[in-house]
Amino acid sequence: MIRYSLQCDQGHVFESWFASASAYDALAKGKHLSCAHCGSPKVEKALMAPSVSSTENDGGKPAQPRPAAPLGPRNAVEERIAAFRKHIETTSDYVGDNFVREARAIHLGESPERPIWGEAKIEEARALAEEGVPVAPLPFMSKARTN
């Protein structure tokens, strides 16, 4: 995983994690990135200092570990995303990797209509949308995928 500092054309700066540098490049090239604050699709990497860790500090003692990142939301945007996640998790069925098959079956009337969420590749989600299946990306991953 790699973390980039990003900035939109409106000047908002935010961070996001990517599976790799090439994953970021593919998302940027496909115009699949947007500002976490205003939704602007014009997002670029911002300057950021490298994260360098050392095993010793100046006194020759082992360096103290950095405090862990907070587990809860840190700002209003994260609070809204956390509330949205809770709403999705409590009002819909998580179907995991079966999302594409289940969404298509619901659309065709082969499965009971209900709200679902799960995992899909970008190409699969695009194909569903082209078929008229209502889909939308979520601003979070399943907890199973984030551990």
According to DSSP, the β-strands at 43-45 and 2-8 are: antiparallel
pLDDT at 104: 96
**More confident site: 147 or 55:** 55
Lowest mean pLDDT among 9-13, 94-98, 118-122, 128-132: 9-13
Q: Dihedral, CA atoms, 84, 37, 27, 48, nearest 10 degrees? A: -120
Tokens of 106: 């619901």
Mean pLDDT for all residues in the chain? 81
Measured in residues, the chain has a length of 147
pLDDT in tens, 43-94: 888 876 565 555 555 555 555 555 555 556 678 888 888 889 899 999 999 9
115: pLDDT strictly greater than 50: yes
> Is the pTM above the cut of 0.75?
no
